[in-house]
Amino acid sequence: MANRWTAVALALTALLLPGPGRAGAQGLVYVSNEKSDTISVLDPAQDHRLVATIEACGRPRDMEWDPTKRFLYVACADDNEIGIIDVEKGEQVDAIPYIEEPEAFEFDHAFKRLFVSNEEDAALSVVDLESREVIAWVETGEEPEGVLVTPGDRQIWVTSEASNLVHVIDGETYEVLADIPVGTRPRRFAMTPDGREVWVSAELAGRVDIISTETLEVIDSIAFLPRGFRPEQVTPVDLLITRDGKRAYVALGRANHVAVVDVEKRQVIKYILAGNRVWGLTLTKDEKILYAANGLSDDVSIIDTETLTNIKSVPVGQIPYKVLIRE
């Protein structure tokens, strides 16, 4: 409760202060918009009102925080860079240049290295965050996409959308340890908290494949089919698993629903209606609210994870891609 009041107080302060503060208060929600080249800033304390719009680099997609959560790193495919936005100033202040068509990326746990998939080169680049040099380059299948860094930075996992493979790369030597065949058009990862399973969404197979981190093989799959949809409309992309490892949320793309999955039973509990072509998912720290970015209806669905209902949709910029929260 105290937290909420602080958030409200901060938001109110943000409202009263002109300029920078409005885009950078604690508790705000940031949404990258691929087509309008902006980051929409929503304030949950004000019923998710749009409180600011930050100009970003060209075609912003994936976003990650720096450890202080003051700087937002944004992969900009059309400008071939990772933009760095100071959310307190509400503007892009810096960029890591010469990264060809970045789509998804992750940092290592020490915030020393950046792992980014490059569509153009069919490679995973490892960038030293201090020198900003590419220190390693690993050949992948065509259209590498989702990146996962395992605990202790031991391994980097990357999907190859066009080759239907998951590549497992050694976190130190950058040697390819395995190429795992998975369902058609693999996109994103989620790891169970015990580290035993990696879930990967296969967009055109309409399912999630479950890979054992021990055998590096697909051990099971979960198919999705909300009522009234044809299998080919079910195109899962983003997914995440809760901290207790009990529940997973999977955004089903053109099936316009978010699937709620019982992780242990590997069964769908519910399909929650979201917007058109739902992709990017983010949970609040308390995991009570799930945000879902709807790429083709230009809005974000706000889902109550207790009642499993969509409580509100908020319009943002064009083709929203990813949601992050400053908390």
Residues 6+ apart with CB under 8 A from 211: 166, 180, 182, 197, 198, 199, 200, 217, 218, 219
- Site for another protein (CB under 8 A): which residue of 86, 94, 108, 119? 119
User: Using CB under 8 A, which of the segments 114-122, 127-135, 191-199, 208-216 binds another protein?
Assistant: 114-122
3-state SS class at 280: strand
- In the list 8, 15, 136, 176, the residue contacting another protein (rule: CB under 8 A) is 176
Ramachandran angles phi, psi of 152, nearest 5°? 75, 10
107-115, 116-124, 217-225, 300-308 -> range binding another protein (CB under 8 A): 116-124
CB of residue 16 to another protein, shortest distance in Å: 42
The stretch near another protein (CB under 8 A) out of 1-9, 157-165, 192-200, 304-312 is 157-165
Regarding 179 and contact with another protein (CB under 8 A), the answer is: yes
Angstrom distance (rounded) from CA 79 to CA 2: 42
Q: Residues 264-283 vs another protein: string with x where CB under 8 A? A: --------------------
Verify binding: residue 160, another protein, rule CB under 8 A: yes
Among the residue ranges 10-18, 82-90, 117-125, 220-228, the one whose residues contact another protein (CB under 8 A): 117-125
Query: Is residue 233 within a helix (H) or strand (E), and if so which, with residue range?
Result: none
End-to-end Cα, the chain, rounded Å: 14
Among the listed residues 142, 214, 217, 220, the single contact to another protein using CB under 8 A: 142
Distance CA(125)–CA(115), nearest Å, equals 6
Interaction residues for another protein, span 222-241 (CB under 8 A)? 230, 232
CB of 179 to another protein, least distance (A): 5
How far apart (Å, rounded) are the C-alpha atoms in residues 324 and 63? 7
Chain centre to alpha carbon of residue 155? 19
What CA–CA distance (Å, rounded) separates 146 from 105? 7
Binding site for another protein (CB under 8 A): 119-120, 122, 139-143, 160-165, 176, 179, 181, 184-185, 204-205, 230, 232
